[in-house]
Structure 1
Amino acid sequence: MAVPRPSWLCPDHTPDQDHDMRVIASPYPDVDIPDTTLVPFVLRRAAQHPYKTAIVCAASGRSLTYAELERSVRAVAAGLHAKGIRKGDVVGLVSPNIPDFAVVFYAVTLIGAVCSTVNPIATAEEIGAQFADSKAVMLVTIPDLYEKCSTAAKIAGTVRDIVVFGEAAGATPYAALFAHGDTPPRVDIDAATDVCALPYSSGTSGVPKGVMLTHRNLVANLVQCDAAGMGMTANDTVIGVLPFFHIYGMVVVLGGALSQGATIVSMPRFDLEQFLGTITKHRISYMNLVPPIILALAKHPIVASFDVSSVRVIMSGAAPLGADLADACAARLGCLVRQGYGLTETSPVTHFHPFTTTSADTGSVGPSIPGTDCRLVDPDTGADVASGERGELWIRGPQVMKGYFNKPEATAACLTPDGWFKTGDVAVEKDGWYHVVDRVKELIKYKGLQVAPAELEALLLANPLIADAAVIPVPDADAGEIPKAFIVRRGDIDEAQVMAYVAEHVSPYKKVRLVEFVESIPKSPSGKILRRLLVERERANAASSPSH
């Protein structure tokens, strides 16, 4: 089946290359992607309602109207320029969800620089490694994280300045960025090719890599989601509990709500009771969540103590949501619960279950969004599979990343010359609707956050008491998946010591939570760990246990 060459594809692509493929087009009409940079698009509603609250912090009460947000973005952009930040420079942002996260993120992109976000609970080593890789020249953080970021900056070796929201000895105070007027220099930005965001993802395998997302990538995804009826409007009050450093919070929540003129209530950290209190106090109507939070809403007795009747829509993402759990949450809250699918490399959304449908198949991620073509490919043969059969999901659309930063081999491994991104996820399609059923890639999804087995294995092998190691995902009711380590001992080490060793070196969500000692790790003739064999063995053992 041949399809016309999309205008955003590389110039040397020809329609002939689509022959012998089963290209599944989106059921939606095509959309026009405006030729604009990110900030004017996201703040396009500011002039219509300048005095409306754009974002308010649930913890501190600090808020910004749309006029204040726009003015602050311009002022901080001017301050960043005065500090020597130029087009293409990488600015690291290490912060919880606070209103000024949005200011800095959009100020950086307004002057053609690149914002690279990182989980604030990451260790100094993890932060330093990311900013060494991205060559960040400035970090922006909160006072509580200044010491850790200062250590990370020394590791990175490229950071010239650290700015803190507030003050910290040795840091540039955030307020100093507002001392240079509110008219930043005009910078010539090519929306189609210039990168604005550099979040890190483990991709289909291995250690985290910088995902180069252009202005056009992010604008396209916002337009696509809106055209497919994701349902957010200017009348909504949106909960900002998903971390803004993560692509889901960065684009769908922050960019999505602001571009619609909605109000965001940001939460610096998740606490179930505070979360429920925030819904009640602010009359939250639209919630982007992940399955572990939806599980709490469906099952936890404390939910009954709060008035959550204002909620009309819950959109789930970042990890699979089972139909039973979706239906249970919808019934308890009396709202719509739908789920979507996407990846950091696709800005992120490629599919979602529309709100307008009466389909009861809540376990489906729905059809692909406008302008998004899909293929399902047998990973062993490279042939496209028939409808109803399992295959690796390949995606082509204007939201697909430019590539991995300074990683041409990793880019070539997952992005074909004619624009297909290989997701590493296994899906089944029928009548244009998709179920994501498994993974080709070996990432572990702990509460929606990526844990790369290869990263943990490298750390384990650095322990002199460990001769060999492999890490796999194990299903978990609360977290979705947890890391389990298979260890070949070299010396005297027990389960608790293995877990403590890993915990000392990584973010809490990456901790190994199960350990099994084995005689050997299964490997291919080339030495590659055969994690699939360990996963299959684990599943067989679970199926034969008395609890099943």
Structure 2
Amino acid sequence: MAASNVPTIYGDGGPLAHIPDDVTIPQFFFDQHHPLGGEALHHRNPAYFIDDATGRQVTADEVRARVWGLANALHIRWNFGNNDVACVFGPNHVDYPIVIWGTHRVGGIVTGANPSYTADELVYQIQTAKATLLFLHPDSLQVGLEAARKAGIRDDRVVLFDRVPGDDHLTVSDLIKEGLLQPKRYVEPRLKPGEGKTKLALLFFSSGTTGRPKAVMIPHYAVIANCIQMKQYADTRDGGKPNDQKLYRSGDVALGVLPFYHIYGIVVSLHFYMFCGISLAIVSRFNFENMLKSIKRYNATHLSLVPPMIVLLCKHPAVKNYDLSNVKMLTSGAAPLSAELTNQVARILKNSGIGQGYGMTETCTTFSFPQLDTRVGTPGSAGRLIPGTACRILKPDGTWGGIGDQGQLVVSGPSMALGYLDNPEATAETFKDGWVYTGDEGYVTEKKDLFIVDRIKELIKVRGFQVAPAELEGHLLDHPDIADVCVVAAPDEYSGELPFAFVSLHEEVRKRVAQDPKEEDRVKQSIFKHVSDHKTQYKWLAGIEFIDIVPKNPSGKLLRRLLRDRLREGLAAGRIKLVQPDAKKGRAKL
């Protein structure tokens, strides 16, 4: 089928507002005013950032000054500038955004690294991104210093976010003071029309669960475009209401618990909220009870979370001790949020809109956004396509589908990344003629609701039938004994594959199982029946293993690969045995 004849589904919201293509991210947010937003940095919100650890408030004027001072020092001290790369290694910090924008002011590029990395993993990212400057959080100091030595970054090009006793490295504040005491020496890039679409801002790494991480090339235009897309979508759903009645408005407070090294955190939590004029309480490390305290302390109105955090909201006993009535919007992303979990959290956050969005690093985040015209989005939906987006459905048989058809999501829009740095093979596989082949299977309804079935490679094939792990996981989380779960494919000679569940039990159930061997069988049979009572037979579980913690990466995605390996090893050693579903009894034969 010719490309022009391929069925294409477009996001709603009317013609997309103007997206400037001749400015960098800080030039757009600090130096210009866009009709859709930018209230925060133009109206001097009393507290633009709040340091959750100390309660310190950082005003818009302070943000501007600190960015300017850092940019000046980067140029004066190291002649750091156009297309040079700075790596930021560590959890969130109130100066993390300052480092990003200061780097951008001199024409540099930022790559954010996962603080759970080993030294060798960090070396790989530094070398892949070609970083020559390293910013370290004190919590990541030792790993960061080891990686810097291995990667060839000189010790005088390592900068700490805070002073560490006995350490003489420069801090971000040292550089800012140094820059502010000097006349302006750096020359800020002035982009030509269209250059913002190719001028790199970020090298953020895609998930490493499917091979070595790849550096995704994200231009300034992509981040700016996605913020405009989301704000236009939100304003359209608000129906022209005055600012004080809008769902995303200046004066609100969001909790910045998502990591800034992740695309969801850097674009949605940081830049989108800034564009809306929403203050951000920056949380360094996620601790659930501390998060509850911070929601109350700052009267947080907006939460951007991942499903594992939402599981805790639904199941943690401490929730009942906190007043969460001020929360008016909860957005979930980075992994599927089941219909069951959506309904559960809606009962906890009674005044809040509940919904999820969909995106990926390669699309520079958001492609669909929560439904805002109803309190709770369509359960199981990943939101609605936002303005400026286009979606195609590549069916399993290789033909193109349309509304209601299921297949691989192939997407396009103004926020798409440019490809993978120095990796033409992977780029050619994912980025084709302006379209991103997501590797996610899903479908779009007439109302432009997007549903994600699962990662194509994660689908379990049972006698030719497809079973989506996310569907079973969502159902299993509704079982009262289950705290968390991951479903993977178990190889089977007859069926090809069968679903197998790794289950983390609630603490009190875990204690009962440990004290009474018979209790383990009772709990497992209850879980088997929970599935067989509600799901067709080919979706029934062929086994359950109890584990203490379900492994996830920091963005909340299940590390299925680790559990698939554990399952294979257990089957080979005879430690794990599969059971066959019994259609007559509706339970597993042990």
TM-score in same-fold range (> 0.5):
yes
- Cα distance, 1:119 vs. partner? 1.2
Determine helix, strand or coil for the equivalent of 2:174: helix
CA shift at 1:255, angstroms? 0.5
Do 2:71 and 2:179's aligned partners in 1 also have CA atoms closer than 8 Å?
A: no
- Measured after TM superposition, the shift of residue 203 of structure 1 is 7.7
Which of 2, 25, 28 does residue 38 from structure 1 map onto? 25
Task: Give the drift of 1:430.
Answer: 1.8
Q: Secondary structure at the match of 1:19?
A: helix
Q: Which amino acid aligns with 1:80?
A: L
Aligned to 1:306: 322
- The answer to whether the 8 Å contact 1:94/1:117 transfers is yes
| Preserved contact between residue 310 and residue 345 of structure 2 (Cα < 8 Å) | yes
**Distance change (3 Å), C-alpha of 1:540 and 1:188:** farther
Which residue number corresponds to residue 119 of structure 2? Answer: 124
- Aligned with 2:187 (options 181, 185, 188): 185
Cα distance in 2 for partners of 1:382, 1:112 equals: 43
The question of whether the paired residues in 2 share the 8 Å contact of 1:42 and 1:259 is answered with yes
Shift in Å, 1:391: 0.4
* Correspondences of 1:433-448 after superposition (within 5 Å): 433-441=449-457
Query: 1:546 deviation in Å?
Result: 3.7
Secondary structure (helix, strand or coil) at the match of 1:97 reads coil
The equivalent position to 1:371 in structure 2, one of 388, 391, 394, is 388
Question: Alpha-carbon deviation of 1:297?
Answer: 1.3
Residue identity matched to 1:172: L
1:266-415 aligned at under 5 Å gives the runs: 266-334=282-350, 335-357=352-374, 361-379=378-396, 381-415=397-431
Separation in 1, partners of 2:589, 2:249: 46
Structure 2 vs 1, CA of residues 518 and 482 (structure 1 numbering), >3 Å: closer, same or farther?
Answer: closer
Matched, 1:261 2:248: no
- Aligned equivalent of 1:136, options 131, 139, 156: 131
Are the structure 2 counterparts of residues 159 and 412 from structure 1 closer, same or farther at C-alpha, using a change threshold of 3 Å?
farther
Provide the residue aligned with 1:428 in structure 2: 443
Structure 1 SS opposite 2:391: strand
Q: Structure 1 residue 482: deviation in Å? A: 7.5
Counterpart of 1:162?
158
Q: Give me the whole-angstrom Cα distance separating, in 1, the residues matched to 2:85 and 2:408.
A: 33
TM-score (norm 1): 0.79
The residue that corresponds to 1:226 in the other structure is 231
Provide the rounded CA distance (Å) in 2 between the counterparts of 1:166 and 1:137.
20
Show the counterpart of 2:171.
173
Partner of 1:55: 49
Cα 1:18–1:159 change in 2 (3 A) is farther
Number of aligned positions between the proteins:
472
Take 2:555 and 2:84, find their aligned partners in 1: how far apart are those partners?
A: 27
SS in 1 for 2:437: strand
Distance 2:437 2:373 in 1: 29
- Per-residue Cα deviation, 1:209-240 (whole angstroms, up to 9, x for no partner): 00110000000000000011074211210000
SS at match of 2:104: helix
Deviation at 1:81, TM superposition (A): 1.5
Does the 8 A contact of 1:371 with 1:398 survive in 2? yes
Q: 1:404 & 1:110 partners in 2: Cα distance?
A: 24
1:45 counterpart letter in structure 2: E
Return the alpha-carbon distance in structure 2 between the equivalents of residues 92 and 130 of structure 1.
9
Amino acid corresponding to residue 158 of structure 2 in structure 1: I
DSSP 3-state at the match of 1:337: strand
Report if the CA contact (8 A) 1:136-1:159 is conserved. no
* RMSD, aligned α-carbons: 3.3
Q: Distance in 1 between matches of 2:97 and 2:444?
A: 37
Matching of residue 243 in structure 1 with residue 259 in structure 2: yes
TM superposition shift of 1:122? 1.3
User: 1:118-141 deviations in whole A, cap 9, x for unaligned?
Assistant: 111211111111111111101101
The normalised TM-score by structure 2 is: 0.73
Instruction: Tell me what 2:529 maps to.
Output: none
Preserved contact between residue 141 and residue 165 of structure 1 (Cα < 8 Å):
yes
Change (3 A) 1:360 1:345: closer
Identity %: 31
Task: Give, in angstroms, the shift of residue 483 of structure 1.
Answer: 8.1
Amino acid across the alignment from 1:78: N
Comparing 43-52 and 113-122, the one that deviates more = 43-52
Deviation at 1:194, TM superposition (A): 0.6
Against the structure 1 CA distance between its residues 539 and 321, is the aligned structure 2 distance closer, same or farther, given a 3 Å change threshold? farther
Kept in 2: contact 1:319–1:480 (CA 8 A): no
Is the 1:78–1:185 contact (alpha carbons within 8 Å) kept by the matching residues of 2? Answer: no
1:67 and 2:61 are equivalent in the alignment: yes
How far is 1:351 from its partner?
A: 0.7
Q: Is the 8 A contact 1:121 1:507 kept in 2?
A: no
Cα offset, 1:434, TM superposition: 1.5
The whole-number CA distance in structure 1 between the counterparts of 2:310 and 2:90 is 24
Residues in 1 aligned to 2:101 and 2:110: alpha-carbon distance in whole angstroms: 8
Alignment correspondent of 2:515: none
The aligned counterpart of 1:512 is 562
Contact 1:135 1:156 in 2 (8 A): no
Find the aligned partners of 1:285 and 1:517 in 2 and give their Cα distance.
46
8 A contact 1:167–1:173 mirrored in 2: yes
The 2-side partners of 1:542 and 1:45 are apart by 61
Larger displacement relative to structure 2 (37-46 or 430-439)? 37-46
Between structure 1 and structure 2, the one with the greater Rg is: 2
Return the alpha-carbon distance in structure 2 between the equivalents of residues 146 and 377 of structure 1.
46
SS at match of 2:303: strand
- Whole-angstrom distance in 2 between the partners of 1:538 and 1:479: 21
Does 2:36 match 1:18?
Answer: no
Distance 2:341 2:333 in 1: 13
Deviation at 1:344, TM superposition (A): 0.7
Q: Which moved more, 1:132-141 or 1:510-519?
A: 510-519
Q: What is the rounded CA distance, in whole Å, between the counterparts of 2:27 and 2:288 in structure 1?
A: 35
Q: Distance in 2 between matches of 1:107 and 1:480?
A: 42
**Mapped contact 2:44–2:59 kept (Cα < 8 A):** yes
Unpaired stretches in structure 2, ≥5 consecutive residues: 31-37, 236-246, 461-468, 478-482, 492-546
Distance 2:404 2:580 in 1: 25
State whether residues 90 and 139 of structure 2, in contact with CA within 8 Å, keep that contact through their aligned partners in structure 1: no
Question: What SS does the aligned partner of 1:197 have?
Answer: strand
> What is the one-letter code of the residue matched to 1:290?
V
1:394-543 mapped onto 2 (5 Å cutoff) = 394-416=410-432, 418-431=433-446, 432-441=448-457, 475=473, 477=477, 481=486, 512-513=562-563, 514-517=566-569
- Give 2:26's aligned amino acid: V
